[in-house]
Amino acid sequence: MRRLEGKVAIVTGTSPNIGGTLAMGMAAEGARIVCTDLSAEVCGDCAEKIVAAGSDAVAVPGDVTESGHADEAVESALSRWGRVDVLVNNAVFFDQRGIESMDYDAYLRQLQVILGGAFLFTRAAARAMVSSGRGGSIVNVLSTAAFQGQPGNIGYATGKSGLLNFTRSAAMEYAAHGIRVNGFTPTATAPTDPAAIAQMNDLIDRPQEYRMNFAAQLPMSRLPSPADYVGAVVFLASDDAAMITGTNITVDGGATAKYWPWQPHGTAGDL
């Protein structure tokens, strides 16, 4: 039997990179999916791919920072399938700037999407889970940037680190209702979608104050792809993780476990 058979999941930010891959991976394990995204085209495409693969999905476009959108996504799940079992808070946008180069409104907007979106969707989904009496699972997509000081990416790093303790606090609030809240931590990811590949190449080629060499620093031989993340999220969403809450699963090729001076690949300096 598939691990998510009969469950209904809401996934925010279902672009072809991480969010869309997680949605399709959960659908392959039996879940019916509400795909959300700011872009109607993006979440519609994700839902169409899921249906074409033989599963069931619906697209609900909207802005995660609006409470009405969260309520609409939950209501769509309830009216179509009568339940909400899983929420994956993945919605994010990238605005890679530092304190001196980022204006305050842009900083707040990034926090609103990462933290505000998680707050609104968690509240809406948890209310449905509590009403059902069946419990549920909420998975917040974090980042290795939540655990380390990344220069030149202040809004993203701050938002993801805030989401770490949001996860712990929400887990404690909902534990009595059988609702598990956990984090999932990916890292720099090798995209597979052409648009995401182009975006990544642009980011690499663009002149930056703080240069990053992800491949040289990763202990394992390659960056993870979005598909490498599916198993961990399916596990957290499934009944196999029935006693796991308030914690985090990291899939980063050893990046955050590595002793900081060691450079696994490329040219290493002397001691």
**CA distances in angstroms from 129 to 9, 20, 77, 84, listed in the order given:** 11, 23, 12, 6
Query: Does position 265 have pLDDT exceeding 90, yes or no?
Result: no
Please list the active-site residues: 143, 156, 160
> Which of these ranges, 22-26, 92-96, 138-142, has the smallest mean pLDDT?
92-96
* DSSP-based three-state secondary structure for 82: coil
Contacts by 202-206, CB closer than 8 A, 24 or more apart: 203/96
Range name among 26-30, 92-96, 204-208, 230-234 with the lowest pLDDT average = 204-208
pLDDT tens column, 201-235 = 666 566 677 777 777 788 888 888 999 999 999 99
Write down all domains in the chain, each with its CATH number in brackets.
Answer: 8-250 (3.40.50.720)
Question: How do residues 234-256 score in pLDDT, each as one tens digit?
Answer: 999 999 999 999 999 999 999 99
Q: Which residue is it, tokens 């980022």?
A: 102
